[in-house]
Amino acid sequence: MPLVNTKEMFKHAYEGKYAIGAFNVNNMEIIQGIVAAAQKEKSALILQVSAGARKYASPIYLRKLVEAAIEETDLPIALHLDHGDSFEICKQCIDDGFSSVMIDGSALPFEENIALAKKVAEYAHERNVTVEAELGKLAGIEDDVNVSAEDAKFTDPDQAVEFVERSGVDSLAIAIGTSHGAYKFAGEPRLDFARLEKISALLPNYPLVLHGASSVIPKYLEMCNQYGAAIPGAKGVPEDMLREAAKWGVCKINVDTDLRMAMTAAIRKVLVEQPAEFDPRKYLGPGRDAIEEIVQNKIKNVFGCSGSALK
Ligand SMILES: O=C(CO)COP(=O)(O)O
Ligand SMILES: O=C[C@H](O)COP(=O)(O)O
Ligand SMILES: [Zn+2]
Ligand SMILES: [Zn+2]
């Protein structure tokens, strides 16, 4: 099967109250680990490429690796640009064969964000490519958080409706308290579920997206630190909160940090325990296995999307 866009997979996810995992990819082992897990769970999959990944690996290499994954597995896979910040980068990825793009105009004023998203949506939709946009600002750990600061940054429900209607984008990333990276909460983890429920009620049947949704899995955080890393006090989004979010219209959950940490932990362990080893396959292989393990757990036990490839 060719690459698919996200339309069908989000429709089924919305109806089934589960979320599709969207995993950031940078190289072959990362792609293989994710795809092996999705294959075991018969899950639809979004593989996403950031501007940084695009620069590191080239979008052509990554697309060819994803094509290899489709050929080997026959899974429905969307290849998605993560955080495109201009019309030009979105156009480039669409022209390169991506099936989905994100235009992230969340730092722009509301009207400019709408205008940019609309321009990308028009170009994309003519080519059967789906578009994600973002409204609101993801939290940072420093914003440990009073309500008026939240109101200024988190997605305004009424604006979300206006944004979706006027831009025509296919999904919307919202800010309810998640943030990118390994340090998401200074105190107790907290997401603004009241806000999510309101947005979801105002946008029925509309897929929402959660960025910054890694859980910072204790096993791999500890393993990193045990084998020489210095990542003290990292904290992610608890898995039960992600399960809950999937019930309220969140159809896509983004994960990068957990992949990075799992792969790094496994590689560190080999390098420390086997100092004579210098065959890259001997550490990249375990890195790939660690990715497979955490992705399978997310698909099966957190996002609930096992079997979604068959729909
Ligand atoms: O949102 C992300 C990619 O767009 C990744 O978030 P994490 O840093 O929580 O993995
Ligand atoms: O949202 C950001 C993703 O984690 C991608 O990170 P990156 O820009 O370092 O590739
Ligand atoms: Zn993101
Ligand atoms: Zn279907």
Question: How far away, in angstroms, is 275 Cα from ligand 1 center?
Answer: 32
Report the catalytic residues: 82
CA distance 243 to 274: 38
Q: Is the pLDDT of residue 149 over 70?
A: no
List, in order, residues 6 or more apart from 226 with CB less than 8 Å away. Answer: none
Q: Which of 141-150, 151-160, 198-207 has the lowest mean pLDDT?
A: 141-150
Q: What is the pLDDT of residue 247?
A: 98
Question: Is ligand 1 within 6 A of the CB of residue 211?
Answer: yes
Token code pair at residue 269: 């362990």
Q: What is the pLDDT of residue 142?
A: 52
Q: Is the pLDDT of residue 119 over 70?
A: yes
Average pLDDT over residues 176-192: 94
The answer to the question of whether 134 is labelled as a binding residue is yes
Taking the CA of 214 as reference, the closest ligand is 1
Question: Is ligand 2 within 6 A of the CB of residue 53?
Answer: yes
Q: What ipTM was reported for this prediction?
A: 0.97
Topology of the domain covering 7-310? TIM Barrel (3.20.20)
Q: What is the pLDDT of residue 152?
A: 72
Percent of the chain with pLDDT over 70: 96
pLDDT-derived band of residue 1, with 50, 70 and 90 as boundaries? confident
Of the candidates 264, 257, 268, the residue with the CA atom closest to the CA atom of residue 235: 257
The answer to the question of whether 104 is labelled as a binding residue is yes
Token code pair at residue 253: 């959950």
Question: How far away, in angstroms, is 178 Cα from ligand 3 center?
Answer: 10
pLDDT digits (tens, 9 = 90+) for 215-274: 999 999 999 999 999 999 999 999 999 999 999 999 999 999 999 999 999 999 999 999
Question: Is ligand 2 within 6 A of the CB of residue 24?
Answer: yes
Which amino acid is located at 36 in the chain? A
The answer to the question of whether 95 is labelled as a binding residue is no
What separation in angstroms does the CA of 191 have from each of 150, 175, 245, 249? Answer: 11, 9, 9, 15
pLDDT digits (tens, 9 = 90+) for 19-38: 999 999 999 999 999 999 99
Q: What is the pLDDT of residue 282?
A: 98
Taking the CA of 51 as reference, the closest ligand is 2
Q: Which residue is closest in CA terms to ligand 2's atom 7?
A: 52
Percent of the chain with pLDDT over 90: 92
pLDDT-derived band of residue 147, with 50, 70 and 90 as boundaries? low
Phi/psi for 232 (5° steps) reads: -75, 140
Question: Is ligand 1 within 6 A of the CB of residue 293?
Answer: no
Average pLDDT over residues 38-54: 97
Q: Are 10 and 251 in contact (CB under 8 A)?
A: yes
